[in-house]
Amino acid sequence: MAIDALTTSGINSLVNSFIQSESLKRVTPLKERQTRFNKLSSAYSSLLSQINALKNSLSALKDTSKNNVFNSKTVKSSNESRINASVSSNAIAGSYNLRVNQLAKNDTVLSLDTISNSYTSITSPGNYSFRIKSGDGLGNNFNALVTLKLQASDFDSTGIKFSSLANKISQAFNNDSAEIESSLVSGTNSSSGNFKFVIGGIEHTINYSAGGYEDVIDEIVNQLDDITGVTAEKVTTGGSFGIKINASDSSKYIQMKDDSGSLLSSLGISNDKFISASRIASISVFSPESGRTQISLSTKNTGYDFRFTELSDISTGGLLNEFGINFGTVRTSFVQNTGGTDTPGYLYSTSQLNSKLTLNGVQIDRNSNKVNDLIEGVNLNLLSLSEAGEADITLTISNNSSEIKSKIENFITNFNNIYKYLRDNLSSAKDKRGLLIGDSNAGSLVNLLSSYAVNPLLGFSSSVINSLSKLGITFNVNSGISISDESQLLNSIQNKLTEVEDFFNNSSNGFAKKLFDAVDAYTGAEGFLTKAQLQLNSTINFLNDNIKNSEMRIQKSADRLRAQYQRLQSQLATLLSNQSYFMGNIFNQQGF
Walk me through the domains of the chain, giving residue ranges and CATH numbers. Answer: 46-68+401-527 (no CATH), 74-104+354-399 (no CATH), 106-176+277-351 (2.60.40), 179-274 (2.60.40)
Residue 547, CA atoms < 13 Å, CB-side half-sphere: 16
Spatial distance between the Cα atoms of 301 and 380, rounded to a whole number of angstroms: 17
* Distance in angstroms between the alpha carbons of the first and the last residue of the chain: 33
Q: Long-range pairs for 275-278 at CB < 8 Å and ≥24 separation?
A: 275/142, 275/143, 275/144, 275/178, 276/144, 276/176, 276/177, 276/178, 276/247, 276/250, 276/251, 277/132, 277/144, 277/146, 277/173, 277/174, 277/176, 278/173, 278/174, 278/176, 278/250
Residue 307 has a pLDDT of 98
pLDDT of residue 585: 61
Residue-level pLDDT, tens digit, the chain, 592 residues: 555 556 777 777 777 877 787 778 877 777 777 777 777 778 778 888 899 999 999 999 999 998 899 999 999 999 999 999 999 988 998 999 999 999 999 999 999 999 999 999 999 999 999 999 999 999 999 999 999 999 999 999 999 999 999 999 999 999 999 999 999 999 999 899 999 999 999 999 999 999 999 999 999 999 999 999 999 999 999 999 999 999 988 889 999 999 999 999 999 999 999 999 999 999 999 999 999 999 999 999 999 999 999 999 998 889 999 999 999 999 999 999 987 899 999 999 999 999 999 999 999 999 999 999 999 999 999 999 999 999 999 999 999 999 999 999 999 999 999 999 888 888 877 777 777 787 888 889 999 999 999 999 999 999 999 999 999 999 999 999 999 999 999 999 999 999 999 999 998 899 999 999 999 988 877 778 877 777 777 777 777 777 788 778 888 877 787 777 677 777 766 776 666 666 666 656 655 5
Per-residue model confidence (pLDDT) at position 465: 96
The pLDDT value recorded for residue 592 is: 52
CA–CA gap between residue 246 and residue 242 (Å, rounded): 14
Task: Enumerate the β-bridge partners of residue 380.
Answer: 85, 371
> What is the model's pLDDT at position 222?
96
Q: How far is it, in rounded angstroms, from Cα 80 to Cα 86? A: 12
- Residue 5: per-residue pLDDT: 57
Q: Provide the pLDDT for residue 570.
A: 75
- DSSP label at residue 139: S
Residue 323 DSSP class: T
Q: Which of 148, 92, 145 is nearest to 125 (CA)?
A: 148
134-166, pLDDT tens digit by residue? 999 999 999 999 999 999 999 999 999 999 999
Query: How far is Cα 493 from Cα 206, in angstroms, rounded to an integer?
Result: 60
pLDDT for position 579: 66
Say what the pLDDT of residue 14 is. 75
